[in-house]
Amino acid sequence: MLQCFQLEHPEDEMILCDRQDCEAIADYLEVEQDGTEHRLCAFHTKSHTYAARLTPRCPDPKAPYRALRII
């Protein structure tokens, strides 16, 4: 079963959506039953709940992801 969480961003960067060619900021962390994580924007998520109403969760820092550095 897919679990959806509000994505918590690191202090110094904004995580981008995992979908190819999408440059939107990811708001959702979707975790599949096997533990695979997906960082997705509001357009690409499968969640039917607003991110602000979901439990916050930090993604696995070892998994590769795209991000924008905040200066």
Residues 6+ apart with CB under 8 A from 62: none
Q: 3-state DSSP call for residue 14?
A: strand
**Model-level pTM?**
0.88
pLDDT band, residue 1 (cuts 50/70/90):
confident
pLDDT of 9-57, one tens digit each?
A: 988 999 999 999 999 999 999 999 999 999 999 999 999 999 989 999 9
pLDDT of 13-26, one tens digit each?
A: 999 999 999 999 99
pLDDT value, residue 61:
85
- Longest Cα–Cα distance of the chain, Å, equals 38
